[in-house]
Amino acid sequence: MAFFEQHIHDAPKTFLSKYVFSFDHKVIGKQFLWYGIAFLGLGGMMALMIRWTLAFPGEPFPIVGQFLFPQTNGVVPPDTYAMLFTLHGTIMIFYAITPILIGAFGNFCIPLLIGARDMVFPTLNMLSFWLAFVSAILLLASLFTPLGGAAGGWVSYPTLSTLIGSPGIGQTLWCLALFVLGVSSTMGAVNYIATIITLRAPGMGYFDMPLTIWGLWLTAILNALFLPVLGAGLLLLTFDRVFGTTFFLAGAAATSGSGDPLLFQHVFWIFGHPEVYILILPAWGVVSDLLSFFARKPAFGAKATALAMTTITILSTVVYGHHMYTTQMSPLLTQSFMMLTMTISIPSAVFFANWLGTLWKGSIRFHSPMLFALGVVFVFGLGGLTGLYLATVTTDLYLHDTYFVVGHFHYTMAASVLLGGFAATYFWFPKMFGRMMNEPLAKIHFWITMLGLNGVFMGMMVVGYAGMHRRIYNPFVYEFLQKLIPINMFITYSALLMGFGQLFFVYNFIYSLVKGPKASANPWEVGTLEWQIPSPAPHYNFDVIPVVKCGPHELGNPNLKNGRDFQYQTEELVEV
Scanning residues 150 to 209, which ones bind other proteins (CB under 8 A)?
Answer: 151-153, 157, 159-160, 164-165
Given the complex with other proteins, which of 565 and 571 has the nearer CB atom?
565
326-346 burial, b at 16+ Cβ within 10 Å, e below that, comes to eeebeeeebeebbebbeebee
Estimate the crossing angle of helix 25-55 against helix 78-90, to 10 degrees. Answer: 150
Q: Does 558 bind other proteins (CB under 8 A)?
A: yes
Per CB under 8 A, which region of 15-23, 228-236, 250-258, 425-433 contacts other proteins? Answer: 250-258
Output the smallest distance, CB 501 to other proteins, in A.
18
Binder to other proteins among 177, 216, 338, 496 (CB under 8 A)? 338
Give dist(CA 231, CA 184) in Å, integer. 11
Estimate the crossing angle of helix 105-114 against helix 261-295, to 10 degrees. Answer: 50
Output the smallest distance, CB 339 to other proteins, in A.
6
Output the smallest distance, CB 479 to other proteins, in A.
6
Per CB under 8 A, which region of 136-144, 211-219, 428-436, 475-483 contacts other proteins? Answer: 475-483
Given the complex with other proteins, which of 205 and 538 has the nearer CB atom?
205
Q: With H, G, I as helix, E, B as strand and everything else as coil, classify residue 518.
A: strand
Alpha carbons within 13 A on the beta-carbon side of 85: 20
- CA triplet 203, 299, 213: central angle to 5 degrees? 50
Binder to other proteins among 134, 307, 471, 523 (CB under 8 A)? 471
Q: Which of 235, 232, 268, 265 is nearest to 250 (CA)?
A: 265
Contact letters (x/-) for other proteins, 26-65, by CB under 8 A?
----------------------------------------
Q: Does 475 bind other proteins (CB under 8 A)?
A: yes
Output the smallest distance, CB 368 to other proteins, in A.
15
Contact letters (x/-) for other proteins, 5-24, by CB under 8 A?
--------------------
Q: Are the CB atoms for 36 and 95 separated by under 8 Å?
A: yes
Q: Are the CB atoms for 90 and 150 separated by under 8 Å?
A: yes
Output the smallest distance, CB 278 to other proteins, in A.
23
Given the complex with other proteins, which of 77 and 202 has the nearer CB atom?
77
Give dist(CA 260, CA 247) in Å, integer. 6
Q: Are the CB atoms for 428 and 485 separated by under 8 Å?
A: no
| Residue type present at position 103 | G
Q: Does 281 bind other proteins (CB under 8 A)?
A: no
Give dist(CA 96, CA 46) in Å, integer. 13
Q: Does 549 bind other proteins (CB under 8 A)?
A: no
Enter the DSSP assignment of 475: G
Q: How many residues bind other proteins (CB under 8 A)?
A: 108
Per CB under 8 A, which region of 181-189, 248-256, 313-321, 430-438 contacts other proteins? Answer: 248-256
SS3 readout for 112-175: HHHCCCCCCCHHHHHHHHHHHHHHHHHHHHHCCCCCCCCCCCCCCCCCCCCCCCCCCHHHHHHH
Binder to other proteins among 91, 295, 406, 437 (CB under 8 A)? 295
Q: Are the CB atoms for 81 and 51 separated by under 8 Å?
A: no
Binder to other proteins among 237, 281, 484, 496 (CB under 8 A)? 484
Q: Are the CB atoms for 323 and 272 separated by under 8 Å?
A: yes
Q: Which of 47, 22, 162 is nearest to 414 (CA)?
A: 47
Output the smallest distance, CB 327 to other proteins, in A.
5
Output the smallest distance, CB 269 to other proteins, in A.
13
Tell me which residues in 83-112 interact with other proteins (CB under 8 A): none
Q: Which of 469, 386, 387, 456 is nearest to 415 (CA)?
A: 456
Q: Does 382 bind other proteins (CB under 8 A)?
A: yes
Tell me which residues in 521-540 interact with other proteins (CB under 8 A): none
Give dist(CA 520, CA 430) in Å, integer. 8
Q: Does 267 bind other proteins (CB under 8 A)?
A: no
Q: Does 472 bind other proteins (CB under 8 A)?
A: yes
Q: Does 70 bind other proteins (CB under 8 A)?
A: no
Tell me which residues in 296-335 interact with other proteins (CB under 8 A): 296-304, 326-328, 331, 334-335
Output the smallest distance, CB 437 to other proteins, in A.
20
* Residues with Cβ within 8 Å of residue 187, at least 6 apart in sequence: 124, 125, 127, 128, 131
Binder to other proteins among 364, 441, 513, 521 (CB under 8 A)? 364
Per CB under 8 A, which region of 44-52, 61-69, 256-264, 526-534 contacts other proteins? Answer: 256-264
Output the smallest distance, CB 273 to other proteins, in A.
18
Given the complex with other proteins, which of 471 and 564 has the nearer CB atom?
471
Q: With H, G, I as helix, E, B as strand and everything else as coil, classify residue 56.
A: coil
Given the complex with other proteins, which of 300 and 542 has the nearer CB atom?
300
Binder to other proteins among 49, 220, 224, 350 (CB under 8 A)? 350
Q: Are the CB atoms for 569 and 526 separated by under 8 Å?
A: no
Q: Which of 210, 212, 231, 209 is nearest to 220 (CA)?
A: 212
Output the smallest distance, CB 451 to other proteins, in A.
13
Binder to other proteins among 235, 466, 513, 521 (CB under 8 A)? 466
Given the complex with other proteins, which of 21 and 476 has the nearer CB atom?
476
Give dist(CA 41, CA 145) in Å, integer. 22
Per CB under 8 A, which region of 23-31, 107-115, 487-495, 525-533 contacts other proteins? Answer: 487-495
**CA 513, 120, 217, 567 torsion: positive or negative?**
negative
